[in-house]
Amino acid sequence: MRLNFVPIETTKKTYSMNHSEAPIIVGLDIGTTKIAAIAGRKNEFGKLEILGFGRANSSGVAHGQVLNIDQTIKAIQQALLNCLESNPELEISEVYVGIAGRHIKSLQTRGDIVRQDPEVEIKQFEIEQLINNQRKTFIPAGDQIIEVIPQDFHVDNHQNIKDPVGYNGVKVGANFHIITGDRNAIRNINRAVERSGLSTKDLVLQPLASASAVMSDIDLEAGVAILDIGGGTSDLAVFCDGILKHTAVIPFGGENITNDIRMGLGVLRTQAEAMKVQFGSALANETKNNAYITIPGLKGMPAKEISMKNLASIIQARMSEILDFVTYHLKQVGLDNRALNGGVILTGGGSQLKHLIQLTEFITGLNARIGLPNEHLSPNHIEELKKPMYATCIGLILKGYSDYEQRHKQFEETFKKVTFPSSLQSASEETAPSAPVIEEQKSTTPVRKKSKFWDSFKNNLIELFQEEDESITK
């Protein structure tokens, strides 16, 4: 199926946000092997309803960094077009974008502010000032701060406070985890998004987005390490005692495994990728000695037989190297199997390798499992989105909702403080009887539109996948 790009602005209908309806938020995952765009909205039960979904093969991105902007723009536009094909009534203007790559670094800092009046309770604006002060932290030239994450607060002699608002004290401070990235790499991502007809609402570190999609509150309390195995890099996020303790980018991913297979077995890249996906295993001992894969010969050359044992040995060597990095980072921050009762959660496209759980448990000494984003999705979600490779994109939507709910909460707190004159209060009481009638009329329409909207979206998406399958078979 061939699609020609048309500007996003040509979409006729927009789903806008009102006071009684949650906003539609779009996550854009710009990866080394794929670019995915997912639009979602929370329902009345707090679950995500997927309203649009599109993906495209990524080109112009290597190891999580945008190297060729023009190729990346074409891939983003293709993913957006596929998203709009699944739901023509959707309009996309702002996106939450994931960021990763070898240029990502992190550091720990500590900051304090001295308050003018210790008898007055600590307010939210003081906490925001404390966080903003950390953005002035000295970092190497050419780098830029992406995110400042408070870990735990302290007020005078009181330590390990999660939320200091409402406390009294002279000095309030916190420990911070600061994430930085190369300024040019960040500029290239923003430029590619803007030239695709979109605006970047926020840049989110990919392991944090993946963690929010596959991790529950129980995991956060127990302590867990999230390993997102992508195409160009593997991203690590470690949580303990409900706090983000460490983040790291491991400079190896699924593309490195494919290149190892290509070089080690002397096959084409497409053949190496197909063997990895269909027959790959992370444990050579679990593979039969007498099992072989037949590869067609090139231009009349005889077919080639590949030992599945050799294939598994190559995959195991690279995956062991990635997991050795995980063990190294856990030791650096002083966390072991006693601190991380939740073990290791594997997500991303590379986590689908056979026997990877067993290899992870053997090398790290921790329990392991595959992290799926199903917990946050409504029951009628698309089967395709059950795969761990979409955890980052769904996590970006959850990040957007976290920001929205925080702004909404601050608005409500400000609104409660507003007092109305008695004349306005009496006037509102006089008009009160007619209010229930208006509310009743409003509440019937959105439900009808919502069901029709979901049915049309689902039918369009099924037809889109059927067309792609037909084009592949041809």
Spans of all domains in the chain: 1-102+390-415+440-474, 105-180, 215-371
In this prediction, what percent of the chain has a pLDDT beyond 70?
Answer: 81
The CATH classification number of 215-371 equals 3.30.420.40
Of 162-166, 242-246, 260-264, 382-386, least confident by mean pLDDT is 382-386
Query: Do the Cβ atoms of 372 and 386 come closer than 8 Å?
Result: yes
User: Residue 422 pLDDT > 60, yes or no?
Assistant: no
Residue of 270, 228, 283 whose CA lies nearest to 250: 228
The pLDDT of residue 466: 55
Averaged pLDDT for residues 208-231: 92
Averaged pLDDT for residues 290-309: 87
Of 57-66, 206-215, 236-245, 424-433, least confident by mean pLDDT is 424-433
| Residue 287 phi, psi (nearest 5) | -105, 140
Amino acid present at 192: A
- 38: part of which helix (H) or strand (E)? strand 34-42
Averaged pLDDT for residues 276-296: 91
* Distance (Å, whole) CA 204 – CA 192: 16
User: Residue 321 pLDDT > 90, yes or no?
Assistant: yes
Q: Write out the CATH class of domain 105-180.
A: alpha beta
Please indicate whether the domains covering 105-180 and 215-371 agree at the CATH topology level.
no
Confidence of residue 380 (pLDDT cuts 50, 70, 90): confident
Q: How many CB atoms lie within 10 A of CB 340?
A: 23
Query: Do the Cβ atoms of 321 and 234 come closer than 8 Å?
Result: no
Q: DSSP string of 74-138? A: HHHHHHHHHHHHH-TT----EEEEEE-STT-EEEEEEEEEE-S-TTSPP-HHHHHHHHHHGGG--
User: Residue 310 pLDDT > 90, yes or no?
Assistant: yes
Query: Do the Cβ atoms of 38 and 50 come closer than 8 Å?
Result: yes
The pLDDT of residue 455: 57
Residue of 198, 206, 178 whose CA lies nearest to 32: 206
Residue of 187, 202, 311 whose CA lies nearest to 260: 311
In the chain, % helix, strand, coil (3-state, to 5) comes to 45, 25, 30
Averaged pLDDT for residues 237-251: 91
User: Residue 320 pLDDT > 80, yes or no?
Assistant: yes
- Summarised one tens digit per residue, pLDDT across range 18-36 is 434 678 999 999 999 999 9
The pLDDT of residue 113: 93
Strand order of the sheet with strand 143-155? 105-114, 171-182, 143-155, 158-161
Averaged pLDDT for residues 215-225: 90
Q: Does residue 410 or residue 179 have the better pLDDT?
A: 179
- The model carries a pTM of 0.80
